[in-house]
Chains A and B, each alone.
Chain A
Amino acid sequence: MMRCSPFSYRAPASVEEVAQILAAEGPRAMVLGGGTDLVPNMKRRQQTPALLVSLRRVAALRQLQGDGAGVRIGAGMTLAEIAAHPRLRAFGALGRAAAQVATTHIRNVGTLGGNLCLDTRCNYYNQNYEWRKAIDFCMKRGVEGGGWPEKNEAQVCWVAPGSPRCWAVSSTDCAPALIALGAQVTLVSARETREIDLAALYRDDGIQYLDKRPDELLTEVRLGDPTGWRSTYWKLRRRESFDFPVLSLAAAVRLGEDGTVREARLVFGAVASHPVMAEAAADLVGHRLDDAAIERCADAAVRLAKPLDNTDFSLGWRKRVARSFVNGALRELRGDDPAQLGLMARRQMALRVV
């Protein structure tokens, strides 16, 4: 039986208390949301926090509040709640992303905040302690008695042994969707409260992948008025359950009454250590979503998708599919009949969400 390493445990009742504990304990403490990412990592000894700060008593984190201009989603809401919430239906990409995380069982406890802070993943890293010992570990290595992994300077990145950095893959489903929807997040610590664009939360590094201090708690996600926006989320994975994305694409467009694109965002997931915004989306602005514009955009956007050989499926194939994804997702937003599209597109569009 895989078991967690020992830790102490506290379950405060308010965000303020959480922030105070985190400030006092430093990086040896980690926050426990749903635990579906952290607990396996603890069992594999990737993370061995000395203290777990449970959020289960912090009711404030589980609220959804709407105002005229948009919504504020508590980071402690479960992915199942996000996927099913009627008030979030207008944010198509978010619901589809949340509904495709792992399995029903995991979505029932896994939280939005947890998915946004999901540890980056890699076939050389998401392994048991004994396995990693057999490759003499890699540069992403947990610190004994510490929480967040730190860079192990003595070691290489096995994905790219000549590289000075870690190439673990950002595998969150919700982040690309929320970035495409223009989300902002709130980070609370004992000394300040920061509101930043979600896109700015991520850094292009497999180890220090979040621009968030260990003493900060992600409390809330804010989304603006969805009027006029259409969005979707496509996810490539071997199985329609369990699996993390090995390529994903969130697409959001705001169309004018004349059918021309006023705003557009395309965000790839699982092709780098952070969600990747495709600037090519800007080229759509001012054009109708006709075949030529879509093809042009796909050609340009796909250059950004640079997967590496550290997930399921070969990287060459994932890159090929990236192009199909851009093409297909934009056609979906244009309102194409799925029956006229290929199998992959139909599968993505017919996503069975329960």
Chain B
Amino acid sequence: MLIHRGAIMADESSRSPGGANGNGTGSGGDGAASKLHIVGKSRRRVDARAKVLGQTRFADDLTLPRMLHCKLLRSRLPHARILRIDTEKAKKAPGVRLVLTGADTPIAYGILPVSQDEHPLCTDKVRFVGDPVAAVIADTEDQAFAALDLIEVDYEPLPTIASPEEALATPEPRIHEYGDQGNLHKVVAFDFGDVDQALASADQVFEDVFYYEGNTHLAIEQHASLAALDPDGKLTVWSSTQTPHYLHRALAKALELPAAHVRVVALPNGGGFGGKSDPFNHEIVVAKAALVLGRPVKICLTREEVFYCHRGRHPVLMRFRTGVKKDGTITGMELNTLLDGGAYGSYGVASTFYTGALQTVTYQIPRYRFRGCRAFTNKPPCGPKRGHGTPQPRFGQEVHLDKIACALGLDPAELRLQQLVSPRSLTANFMRIETVALGECIRRVVAGSGWKERRSKLGLGRGLGLACSSYLSGAGLPIYWNDLPQSGVQLQLDRSGRVTAFCGATEIGQGSDDVLALCVAEILGIDPFDLRVVTGDTDLGPVDLGSYSSRVTLMMGNAAIEAATRARDLIAGPVADKLGVPRDRLVFAERRVFDASDPGRGMSWQDAVILAEAQHGTLGTTGSYKPPMSAAKYKGGGVGPTPTYSYSAAVVEVEVDPETGWIEVAKVWIGHDIGRSLNPPLAEGQVVGSVYMALGEALMEEQVFRRLPPKLSPALVHKFPSMLEYKSPSTMEMPPVEVYLVEDPDARGPFGAKEVGQGPLLPVMPALANAVYDAIGVRVDEIPVTPEKILRALDAKERGKPARHGPARFPEVPWPEALQVPPPWEGGDGHATNDRPKKPRMPRPGEPGGPPIRPEVRR
């Protein structure tokens, strides 16, 4: 693998980071200490040794004395009312200690406050094949499994809703008793300026319909959780979760426990990718069982069950209409999206907004219209997967632009370069742009791939495609409204020279523990290996919201820098006094504190800490981070803002067999605007890993369902909930990748860093589809791009029909009145001019219309 790193010419306001760590502003040292010693160096990550030794403890690796095992009975019907559950036989089965049903855990929960629509075990209805209805806790997993078959459930089947189109046509019966209309969970509409007029003023208006199939995370580790009562009677849950804080809240709510009496420990995740970001049924069930039995209870899901947890990529149908001038300048854009949400809310409201939030942050789009709709269907719920809601419309937009460039006879790279967003600007929908190195990313991949010389010149069957994208460095708003820090870091130092960093952040493989150690070590001038990091534990560390939305490096990093800077300040005083050197001349580096002007004059790190402890008493500092205020004040404007966007550009080279449509990727070139790369092998790993996952989505991965002939069966089942038939690329399918890490430090990021975990996935799918067109002259306006679809497009072309395979039309959706938000350049202030009062919120348990409050069985 070839890696290229390099800074671009930094413009005036993106000079190297420094200054006070104000609200939302990143930092990374100041004064004499600003030379970086660790940042940017290729290092072994702090948790690498444990991982290569097999000593990293994942959730299913834990066992406790007297531990029991839990299995869940899952619905075999896609949609039905539960009439009766008889657990008597199961309770008498060998080894069975407890059988739980929905009546035992009646309180609803959910990741978003606006969709508290899940229950640990279904109470009145099942909504998809795989929805859990009962739990068996037994001495062994075998016994629990055997007892599942002894539970009798009587169902009254309800009509199956298999697709958004069916949901649109079938408002009754409702899958949920809440949501915007019928079986439409969320329907939103925005006008950022008069788009009709913008399209009318264009030389040409292009319209395209695209479809992006759903897919799932497929982390190799299956979800596992262990719950136990502490000796003092409090509850601890160890789990493979990316979001211990949100799980903590859900447990406290669903089990009616004081939050301070619940501890969640997020074990390192064996891959997350967004799939372990929701609080899950099984986590609450084992907690409940441990409370009832007073014994540790563990569950590890089977692979099939992991497919039912899902929360993966929403299938999205979308239509773009874009007005352009002859030179390719965009006058306005309209986007409609229709999401298949599956059976529960999950992050779906946010996902819906995300399908329209980031179209404006790459190219200048003076006016923009977005309509989004998420439907409930009787399938496992969709949610956030790497790129959350944005890869689907990004695929559509970038293929759409490729078609526009081809139609206008323009180079697709030039079309993009000529209208990039400006740094430090606002978009039509009030997303605040900070640094933008997208142009440099495009130039690097264009040069590396020989784009100008090779595009369209490789002969029939081989081609190049280009696409760009952008992603958040952390969501601007937390999932539940609050005014609190989104990440906190606490440091503890003592006379041994030891530094321990505490943070709620969760290691999911991305390297968050290393970022934490690195940021603190850089500021204090010690080695990351000198630190001990304690993370993912709600009892031990300050709150961090979790490993999602690419937020950890930026938010935790800034909090860590603040805490470390405070610690350095505590130490600098007594050291300056002792050495007789002005504080601002002190350098913290190489495990020493010394005079910048006379490096021989100084002392060891440990001696410095001893001095500080003597002066201040026990040493400890904290740091915290809150993102800047969003410029988007309209309702729904909370989804999309971020402290700073990352940018990516990719060129993909494909080979396609004209006879069979067989497709292979020859090579990928990818440039990523990372701000600054903190530990290059890790950053590169995120880029290459994103390319890998993107190629899986682009070529083969599908979370799809099979409906049996309705006359014979109501079944709607996952087509292949297995690692074998859900195709994910092996080593043999992975092409070479050339990575360009483009460094343009952003003042809002720690040491200038932006995100790198999700953004580089986004440009790959459209670049691949564009490459297929370059290779063989047909369009596959659908993900995944499979040989079958290519051949269908070739057949269509041969028959004189449009040379494409893809959806024909976008259905009628009952859109609400659009929020009118004038863009900044048309006098807008970020508010909608027609905002209406909030709709009544969903009734809570005990309120009129809400579910009853059941007396909780207390210990």
Contact = CB atoms under 8 A, between A and B. Distances in A.
Q: CB atoms of A and B under 8 A apart anywhere in the complex?
A: yes
B662 A347 contact: yes
Interface in A96-127: 123, 126-127
Given A1-B300, A238-B727, A127 B709 contact: no
A241 interface: yes
A68 interface: no
B733 A239 contact: yes
Interface stretch (B49-57, B527-535, B635-643, B650-658): B650-658
B660 A3 contact: no
Interface string A277-315: 000000000000000000000000000000000001110
Interface in A302-354: 312-314, 316-317, 320-321, 324, 342-344, 347, 352
A128 to B, nearest CB: 5
A308 to B, nearest CB: 14
Given A128-B304, A135-B717, A238-B700, A343 B730 contact: no
Contacts of B60: 1
A67 interface: no
A133 interface: yes
B780 to A, nearest CB: 14
A133 B788 contact: no
Nearest to B78: A134
A353 to B, nearest CB: 12
A314 B788 contact: yes
B718 A131 contact: yes
B730 A324 contact: no
B656 A3 contact: no
Which residue, B661, B724, B729, B733, has most C-beta atoms of chain A within 10 A? B724
A320 to B, nearest CB: 7
Given A161-B709, A347-B662, A317 B787 contact: yes
A335 to B, nearest CB: 20
Given A1-B141, A3-B141, A134-B129, A239 B729 contact: yes
Contact of B725 (A133, A312, A316, A352): A312
Given A1-B302, A238-B700, A243-B724, A343 B141 contact: no
A324 B657 CA distance: 11
Given A241-B732, A324-B660, A343-B656, A133 B76 contact: yes
A130 B461 contact: no
Given A123-B725, A324-B660, A134 B712 contact: no
Contacts of A130: 74, 76, 304
A128 B71 CA distance: 14
Interface in B727-753: 727, 729-733
Given A127-B722, A321-B660, A344-B662, A134 B717 contact: yes
Nearest to B76: A134
Contacts of A320: 660, 791
B74 A343 contact: no
A309 B446 CA distance: 42
B94 to A, nearest CB: 12
A17 interface: no
B344 to A, nearest CB: 18
A313 B788 contact: yes
B769 to A, nearest CB: 18
Contacts of A127: 304, 720-722
Given A241-B730, A343-B656, A317 B788 contact: yes
A258 B140 CA distance: 70
B708 interface: yes
Interface in A213-244: 238-244
Nearest to B712: A161
B460 to A, nearest CB: 10
B835 interface: no
A2 interface: yes
Contact of A344 (B657, B715, B722): B657
A128 B712 CA distance: 21
B662 A131 contact: no
B302 A2 contact: yes
Contacts of A3: 141-142, 145
A58 to B, nearest CB: 29
A241 B731 contact: yes
A135 B303 CA distance: 19
B708 A135 contact: yes
A130 B134 CA distance: 14
Interface string B783-797: 000111001000000
A37 to B, nearest CB: 12
Contacts of B788: 313-314, 316-317
B482 interface: no
Contacts of B715: 134-136
A321 B718 CA distance: 27
> Contact residue range for chain B?
35 or more
B300 A131 contact: no
A128 B722 CA distance: 9
B713 interface: yes
A165 B632 CA distance: 62
B613 interface: no
B599 to A, nearest CB: 55
A320 B720 CA distance: 24
A135 B732 contact: no
Interface string B426-440: 000000000000000
A343 B727 contact: no
Contact of A342 (B659, B708, B721): B659
B730 A123 contact: no
A114 to B, nearest CB: 17
A173 to B, nearest CB: 15
A352 B719 CA distance: 31
A82 B731 CA distance: 23
Nearest to B732: A240
Interface string A126-168: 1110110111100000000000000000001010010000000
A242 B724 contact: yes
A239 B717 contact: no
B796 to A, nearest CB: 14
Contacts of B77: 134
Contacts of B662: 343-344, 347
B139 interface: no
Interface in B14-62: 60
B124 interface: no
B730 A242 contact: yes
B692 to A, nearest CB: 13
A313 B655 CA distance: 19
A244 B720 CA distance: 14
Contact of A240 (B709, B721, B733): B733
B165 interface: no
B664 interface: yes
A188 to B, nearest CB: 32
Contacts of B657: 342-344
Contacts of B655: 343
A113 B658 CA distance: 38
Given A1-B302, A130-B76, A343-B662, A123 B720 contact: yes
A324 B661 CA distance: 11
Contacts of A133: 76
A239 B724 CA distance: 10
Contacts of B787: 313, 317
Contacts of A312: 725, 727
29 contacts: A1-B141, A2-B302, A123-B720, A126-B724, A127-B720, A128-B302, A128-B721, A131-B721, A134-B717, A135-B708, A156-B712, A161-B709, A161-B712, A239-B700, A239-B727, A240-B732, A242-B724, A242-B730, A243-B727, A312-B725, A313-B788, A317-B661, A321-B660, A342-B657, A342-B659, A343-B655, A343-B662, A343-B664, A344-B662
A-B pairs with lowest CB-CB distance, top 6: A240-B732, A343-B657, A241-B730, A134-B76, A317-B788, A344-B662
Given A126-B724, A128-B721, A134-B717, 15 more contacts: A123-B706, A123-B719, A126-B722, A127-B304, A127-B720, A130-B304, A133-B76, A240-B730, A240-B732, A312-B725, A313-B787, A320-B660, A324-B660, A343-B657, A347-B664
